[in-house]
Amino acid sequence: MSSQTSSVIVLGTGSYVPDRIVTNDDMAKIVDTSDEWIRTRTGISERRFAADDEATSDLACAAGARAIEAAGIDRSEIDLIIVATMTPDMPFPSTACLVQSKLGLPNVCAFDVQAACSGFVYTLGIANAMLLSGNFNKALVIGAEKTSPILDFEDRTTCVLFGDGAGAVVLSRSDVPNVGILGALGGSDGSDPSLLHQPAGGSAIPSSTESLAARQHFLKMNGKEIFKQAVRVMGKASADILEQQGFDSSEIDLVIPHQANMRIIDSLAKRMKIPMEKFHNNLDRYGNTSAASVGIALDEAYRAGRIQSGDLLLLVAFGAGLTWASALIKWQ
Binding site for ligand UT7 (CB under 6 A): 33, 37-38, 41-42, 117, 156-157, 160, 196, 221, 223-224, 226-227, 230, 260-261, 288, 319
Catalytic residue (choose from 61, 128, 258, 280): 258
Catalytic residue (choose from 128, 261, 282, 288): 288
3-state SS, residue 301: helix
Closer residue to ligand UT7 in complex, CB, 171/196: 196
Distance in Å, CB of 137 to ligand UT7, minimum? 33
Distance CA 211, CA 131 (A): 42
- Are 108 and 94 a contacting pair, CB within 8 Å? no
Distance in Å, CB of 201 to ligand UT7, minimum? 19
Find how far residue 139's CA is from the centre of its chain. Answer: 16
Instruction: Please give the full DSSP string across 210-267, using - where no structure is assigned.
Output: HHHHTTTTS-EE-HHHHHHHHHHHHHHHHHHHHHHHT--GGG-SEEEE--S-HHHHHH
The residue type at 98: L
Closer residue to ligand UT7 in complex, CB, 80/294: 294
- Are 315 and 124 a contacting pair, CB within 8 Å? yes
Catalytic residue (choose from 61, 97, 117, 159): 117
- Are 171 and 297 a contacting pair, CB within 8 Å? no
Distance CA 24, CA 263 (A): 18
**Angular region, 108: left φ>0, alpha ψ -120 to 50, beta rest:** beta
User: Distance between the two ends of the chain, CA-based, in angstroms?
Assistant: 17
For residue 177, say if its preceding peptide bond is cis, omega within 30 degrees of 0: no
Distance CA 142, CA 139 (A): 10
178 catalytic? Reply is no
Distance in Å, CB of 122 to ligand UT7, minimum? 13
288 catalytic? Reply is yes
Distance in Å, CB of 22 to ligand UT7, minimum? 14
222 catalytic? Reply is no
Closer residue to ligand UT7 in complex, CB, 102/263: 263
Give catalytic residue positions.
117, 258, 288
